[in-house]
Structure formats: C-alpha cells, structure tokens
Amino acid sequence: MSTTDAHTIDPDDLRRRLGALAGNLAYGWRHEMRTPFVLLDEPAFDRAGHSPRAMLAKIGDETLRKAGSSPQFQEALERAERALRAESGSGGGWWKAPEEEDGTDMLVAYFSTEFGVDESLPIYSGGLGVLAGDHLKASSELGLPLVGVGLLYKHGYFRQAIDDFGAQQERYPINNPADMPLSLMTDASGLPLLIEVELAGEPVRARVWRARVGRVRLYLLDSDVEGNSAWGRRVTDSLYGGDREQRIRQEILLGIGGVRALRALGLNPTVWHMNEGHAAFMQFERVRELRSTGISFDDAIARLRSSTVFTTHTPVPAGNEVFDPELVRRYLGGFVERAGVQFEQLEQYGHSESWGFGMTPFALRTAGFANGVSKLHGEVSREMWGQVIDSSDGQAASIGHVTNGVHARTFISQELSELLGRAGVKAGAHPDEQGWEKVREVDDAELWAVRRSRKERLLETGVRRYLRQPGARADNWKFDPDVLTIGFARRFATYKRAGLLFSDPERLARIIGDADRPVQILLAGKAHPADTGGKDLIQQVVHYSRDPRSQGRIAFLEDYEIVLARRLVQGVDVWLNTPRRPMEASGTSGMKASQNGGLNVSILDGWWAEGYTPDTGFKIGGDWVDSNDAVQDQADAEALFRVLEDEVIPTYYDRDADGLPRRWIAMMKETIATHGRQFDASRMVEEYTRNYYLPAHRGSLAKPIVASGVTEA
C-alpha cells in the first residue's frame, strides 16, 4: 500500500506504482512519466523499445530496491504520478456537454484500422495511424467523451532493414501483449470477454484489449484466441498484409466486431466516426441492430446517416478500397439476409462509376457527415466523388473539410518546449490559453542554441542507425551540426516523389558540396512490401548516398517510425516535401517540423497550400497541374533546385556579426507562432466536434438507438 518507512519504497510497492505509470500511454508525451524508467536503467529502457511494461517485466528486485531508497528517484516518481493524475483525472478540459432535453450524454466511437499512439504500441504504418493516435490524444486533452476502436495486430507493420545491395528487407517481430500497455477486458464472471463475428459462414471470436491514452480508452480486437481455426487466429496477424480475403476478414472484424465489442462493454455511442473507409462495415451491423427492432430498411439507413461521420484521407486507390461484390456476398450475404435485408439492397450503396463494392462510396452514402483532411483535399474529394453524391438523390453526405493537426506535446522537443514555456507558450493547455505567438519574445540566440543542440542529438541517433546497414561505413558519415540540414521522411509511395531531389545528380552534388555553404540530407521511409516502385526508389536513394558524389552528406536511415520521426522533425532545419499535386491529401510531418521551428520547403499541396506564407517557409513551383506527369515532374524538379539555390541556402547562411541568421530565425518564430495553433490536433478535434460530432449527436437523439433495442423517439 505505502512505503515501508519514510525513506524507502519496497520492491513490490514500487512495481505496483511503476505499473500504474506504465499502464497509461500519456508517458508518450509526458516525459516526467518516463523519467523513473530512464533513471532505473536507461539501456534496459532502450532495449525494451521504450515500453515501460516490457522493461518492468524484466527488471529485478535488486534494481528496484536500490531505486526505492534513492531520494532523487522518489522525487521523480512522485512527479511522474502527479503528471499521470493531471493527464487522466476528470474535469478542466475544454469540452462542456450541451444540455439536451433527454439528458443523453454524447459519446463518440472513433473506428480506425491503425493507431499510431506510441512506439510501445506498434500497430500503425504511417500518417493515417499517427493522425488517429493524435486524435485520441487531443480528445483526452479537451476532455471529449470519445473511445477508439481498432485491431491488435500480432506482427504490427513490418520493420525495415537495408541490405548490402541497398534494398529494403522486411521483418515481422511478434508483439507480445504482456509487453504493451494493454489490459484484457473480462466479462461479469471474470473470464476474458469474447465477441464473435461470422466470416463466410465460420464463426471467429476475438478478445478485447484496452489501452489508456490519457483520459481516452482505445479498444483493440484480437482474433488470436483458442477455439478459432488456424486462419481465424490469423485475421489480426499483420497490418495491410495478406490478400483480398484477409483484408475483408480484417475489415469485417473491425466494423462488425467493433460495434459488438462496444455493446458488450455497455457502451452506446451517439456518434460513429469512420476514419477512412476501411471501417465502414460497421454500418452492416448497425443496420442489423436496427432491423432487429422492427425498423424498416429505409428508416435504418436514415438513422445511420444522422449519427455517422466519415473522413476520407486520400485520393490514392489503396486508401479507397474496392472489393469484388462476390467476395462481399460470400462473407456477408447470409448476415445481411438474416437481418431481413436483400443483399443487393445494401450492396448497391457501394457502387460507383467503376466496378466493385467501394468502401468510400458505401461510407459516403451511409454517413450524414463527410470530410476531407485539408481545404484542397475537400475540393479534390468533392470532384472525385461527385458522381456518387449526385446519384444519391441528395442522400449522400456533401464533403466538407477539417484540416489535419498534430499533437504538439508528442512531437515538440523537451528542450524547445521548456524554452517556449518560459516565454509563456503552453502546448496542450486550454485552446484559448496556448499563446503560441509568445514565441516572438524568445531570444534569437537561445532559440538558435536549442536548434543546434537538437540537430546534434539527431545526428547522434542518425549515425547509429546509419551504421546498422551492412553497406555503411563510419568514414562515409560527414554530417556536421553547423551545416544546413534537410530532412525527407515519409512512406516511399511513388506519388510522394522522393526521386525528384535526385533527378539531377550533378546539380545536387554541387549543392551539397559547396565549399562555403554546404548542405546535408537525411532520408527515411518504408515502402509497402508489395510496392516494387517504392522499393526501387529506396534502393536508388541508398545507392546515391553510397556514391562518392554524396560526399558523406546524404544518408538513408532505416526503419522510419515515431521515434525517428520525432528526432528528425526536432533536429532538421528544412523539411522537404515533393508530392505530385494534388495527391497529398494533407501530410502531417511538415506540421511537426513547423511546431519545432523547422522550415518547410514544399509543393503547394495538402496542408502547405493553406500554411504557406513567405514568412513561414518556402514553396516549390506554383499551383498549376500538368496532365502529363513527366512534364510536371521536370518543372517541379527545376523549381525545387531553384528555391534551394536562390532562397533557402542564401537565407540560412546569411549571418550577422554574432553569427546568427536573423531572417531565418525570424521565419522559425513565425512558423511556430502561426502554425503552432493552426495545425495543432486540438484545433482539429474542436472543429470535428463543432461541425460534425455535435450535429450528429443531436441527430442521433432525434432518433435514438440503444443496445437494448428501445428505439422510439
């Protein structure tokens, strides 16, 4: 229960207190909560992949006894516990429940196929997952009543290594639930809670894990349970792996199983948010629930619409999944018919101009609220899905937009956040009190010193990662913290055009090798295992980095994930982004760089089409699009080299008598002052709440749906 005497904490007691810290992912953004683990044994914490749970499972009583008698450790532990209470306690947030006549509280269920909350819960592949994680974190900050629903993948997404030939290799380590911040949900008799879905006639069961993200709960379904067939156990094997059957199985488990899990937990959301079309099978289960209470099919659809929000995240085909209608029939035909609905009746909601059952059209026609993830992406989506919307007799949702945001406290370095804090900036505070503009009062030299120190830290991490590659040699690493450093890290999807920078190798070599004003470049990113184009691009980049022309100033760092993302956005001077407009729906890594004072150099696509001003960063080219990709690529490459040579490099190296680049520093401040709030995840979640969640909540109250089947208004 408590300490044995005033000066020591016994190991069992300490284990319990550390266990409580390890059980809330707030340790991902509250460094105080990580400090006790670092103080206990930093190398062990690193070896455990920064998972406090994994570290605790291995730590011996002797280490705990020693720590328990150290006043310094006890103080750190108490600070950590105060931080946990602040992040998980109730009250104080921005959210105030509206006074509704019948007193039903709002609850938002947020379904997503991936969540990137922290490196200790590796069930994400990239931007979509990290955004979902940030949505949960901001909801916690705002005090919004929201639960997340997803899948617990046994192998997560693959880990990347670069081989002798510069090619990507994929490994799939096993995620052990005991090493992750998860608790198994149990039923009334204390046994693991199991939910069941039918997949092509075969019942498959899943257990339900809960992760705590500050105040918010995230429920994850896992089909690796005894009693399931061999393939049934593998439904939650890995993220974005397997064939079409595996994908439909996963998406049925997420959608239908997710609704069932919430009901089994006694949760009755009033708002249902489908984060990308992968989650849209939830609507099948909700139609079934409604039909079982005697409501007609048309009324059931109307009720779904009034309470559902759908976010589309990309114009790229991989995000707009299409299934063979026969596959959908084989998996869900019986289910639909037992619900008293003709299969064709529901299936036609997934039709579009092209063949197949499209998850995006289906989601658009069964949600009353829909949005893209930046202003430009809203326009692109309206155009792209115009036919679906027009052919729905005004029934399908019109598509608006909520520009993405990032969770500042996860991505801003501790050093910078302390400096900003002294000036009065409070990331994570109540939205009206964050005061980002106070960065303008920070001393230039101090801001510059923090920047240099973060760059040094990045280069320390960078060289260690670099040397993991079999073909990498220490004398081939010539990085220097005083040199202008460009970062480029993202998935190696072809539309992101990592090759643009390498399209004129000689010109690039002249830029990086300049005697007075050199440049160095760090790259990272994974290509989907089936994307040969993306994998080739990685190999080309690695080859160039090993070529004498790169002069030891270009390096590809393997296995891009949240830890490396944080280091990069905190340490680079320039964040480069070269997507083929308008394919980058939003992009979020540039926002993370911005909040850290990194300057973006980017195509005017996604968020940058909104964020760019001449005082906050640099643009590549204009806003036109050529129908011929090759022409566009060539023009953009020329514009990229031109902006680097004529604007970026001269501004960075323009120093005053104190050796400070005043104009550059002024731009750093301007980007933090304006983008800090504009692209913060709490601004994003506030907008979702005002524009979508509250109207959907009211819509659901007008037509209440509850698990017991009592449905009349």
Question: Which residues make up the interface to ligand PLP (CB under 6 A)?
Answer: 126-127, 130, 490, 560-562, 565, 587-590, 592
Comparing CB distances to ligand PLP, the nearer of 579 and 621 is 579
CA distance 14 to 34: 15
As beta bridge partners, residue 115 has 123
> Toward ligand PLP, which CB reaches closer, 428 or 587?
587
Strands (E), 154-301: 159-162, 168-171, 183-184, 194-199, 202-213, 216-222, 271-275
How far is the C-alpha of 405 from the C-alpha of 420, rounded, in Å?
Answer: 19
Beta carbons within 8 Å of 367's beta carbon, 6+ residues apart: 274, 304, 305, 308, 309, 310, 397
Amino acid at 634: Q
Residue 316 CB contacts under 8 Å (≥ 6 apart), including other chains: 493, 495, 583
When the beta carbons of 289 and 584 are compared against ligand PLP, the nearer one is 584
Min. distance of Cβ 525 from ligand PLP in angstroms?
A: 8
**At closest approach, how far in Å is the CB of 579 from ligand PLP?**
9
> Smallest distance from the beta carbon of 43 to ligand PLP, in angstroms?
24
Q: Which residue has the tokens 């730590």?
A: 59
Q: How near is the Cβ of 129 to ligand PLP at its closest, in Å?
A: 8
Q: How far is the CB of 586 from ligand PLP (least distance, A)?
A: 7
Taking the least distance from each CB to ligand PLP, the nearer of 553 and 592 is 592
Q: How far is the CB of 410 from ligand PLP (least distance, A)?
A: 9
Beta strands in 383-442, from DSSP E residues, in sequence order: 399-401
Of residues 127 and 428, the one with the C-beta less far from ligand PLP: 127
Instruction: Determine the Cα–Cα distance for residues 572 and 458; give it in Å rounded to an integer.
Output: 8
Minimum distance of ligand PLP from residue 340's CB (angstroms): 43
Closest by CA to 284, choosing from 243, 345, 203, 234, is 345
Minimum gap (Å) between residue 684 Cβ and ligand PLP: 14
Task: Output 284 or 560, the one with its CB closest to ligand PLP.
Answer: 560
Give me the least distance between CB of 496 and ligand PLP, in Å please: 7
Q: Which residues contact 411 (CB under 8 A, 6 or more apart)?
A: 565, 566, 569, 570, 592, 595, 596
In 3-state terms, what secondary structure has residue 367?
Answer: coil
Question: Secondary structure of 98-109 in the HEC alphabet?
Answer: CCCCCCCCCCEE
Tokens encoding 96 = 């105030």
Return the number of the residue (462 or 699) whose C-beta is nearest ligand PLP. Answer: 462
Between 152 and 576, name the residue whose CB sits nearer to ligand PLP: 576
Return the number of the residue (112 or 589) whose C-beta is nearest ligand PLP.
Answer: 589
Tell me the two tokens of residue 116: 């990137």
Residue 646 CB neighbours (<10 A): 11
